[in-house]
Amino acid sequence: MEVNERASYLKGLAEGLELDNTKPEHKIISALIDAVGEISEELQQIRSYLVDLSEDIEMLDQEMELIWDETEDLLSDESEDKGCGHDCCCGDDEYEHLELDCPACCEPVAISEDMFSDGHFACPHCGEALEIDLGEETPFDFEDEDE
């Protein structure tokens, strides 16, 4: 028997006893039966609410699983294809640098991403201290070098 059915049963028994609410002990019994009835109604509402929440959580879980699968697919696609899609050097580690001529000795200097982000380095040929000033521009993207 459900809680609300038991509360209704108790209420029916009390009505069958024809309790006299002028007596203190009968007032207590009536008040307790009314309280049990209200508690059973609230419990029923909470159970209904929990069922709705459970369904919502299940739906969100399924949506999150789809999002996760799509994210994994996108990440795996990016890790497999580091290049630009053309037959060039994009994505090859040995070509991921910028090459400039040293202003002091005019020799070509291959600047790696680490050297570029530091902003200053020494020419490997003549030892001249070189500095890169980008001002407020965005940092150079080594992967989009050919665009």
User: Whole-number mean pLDDT of the chain?
Assistant: 79
Distance CA 119, CA 133 (A): 7
Compute the distance between CA of residue 87 and CA of residue 67 in angstroms, rounded to an integer.
32
Instruction: Say which residue, 19 or 57, is predicted with more confidence.
Output: 57
Cα–Cα distances in angstroms (integers) from residue 46 to residues 49, 52, 53, 100, in the given order: 5, 10, 10, 71
**Cα torsion at 19, 22, 27, 29 (round to 10°)?**
-30
Q: How many CB atoms lie within 10 A of CB 91?
A: 13
> Per mean pLDDT, which range of 25-34, 43-52, 74-83, 137-146 is the poorest?
137-146
Q: Residue 95: its pLDDT value, please?
A: 47
Confidence of residue 91 (pLDDT cuts 50, 70, 90): low
**Of 119 and 71, more confident:** 71
pLDDT at 37: 92
Residue 44, judged by CB atoms within 10 A of its CB (0-12, 13-18, 19+), counts as middle
Task: Identify the pLDDT of residue 123.
Answer: 87
Question: DSSP readout, 109-144?
Answer: EEEPHHHHHH-EEE-TTT--EEE---TTSPPP-GGG
Angle at which helices 24-80 and 3-17 pack, to 10 degrees? 170
Q: What is the pLDDT of residue 2?
A: 87
96 versus 111: the higher-pLDDT residue is 111
Q: Output 45 or 17, whichever has higher pLDDT.
A: 45
